[in-house]
Structure 1
């Protein structure tokens, strides 16, 4: 399962901020995203890994919808 940041505002955002204040920790709201991972062959996989290392992020290749 993959997740993305949830778009929140208004009362939902206020409730999250209130709980952050109560527990003294930041909270991140995420929502599930239906994605199908793509299979990548060499050398594309090597290029993907090199870019991940250079940028300090994790990249996930997915099948187009």
Structure 2
């Protein structure tokens, strides 16, 4: 599963903003995406990890659909 930032309509944004105000804390909305990780060779995995380190990001290789 992946959880990217959700695309929200105006009503959902308003509801979240109201709760943020009540809680006094920002809220991040994520949506669920069903996916499978790609099976990478050791060499390819090392390349992915190297780029993660260079970019200071978390990268995930997924199986093409």
Determine if the TM-score, normalized by the shorter chain, exceeds 0.5. Answer: yes
Superposed displacement of residue 47, structure 1: 0.8
Q: Which has the higher strand share?
A: 1
The answer to whether structure 1 residue 24 and structure 2 residue 24 are counterparts is yes
Partner residue of 1:36? 36
Superposed displacement of residue 30, structure 1: 0.8
Superposed displacement of residue 8, structure 1: 0.4
Superposed displacement of residue 44, structure 1: 1.1
Q: Secondary structure at the match of 2:3?
A: strand
TM-score by length of structure 1 reads 0.91
Kindly report structure 1 stretches of 4+ aligned residues shifted beyond 4 Å: none
TM-score by length of structure 2 reads 0.91
Superposed displacement of residue 19, structure 1: 0.6
Tell me how large the CA RMSD over aligned residues is: 0.9
Unaligned runs of 5+ in 1: none
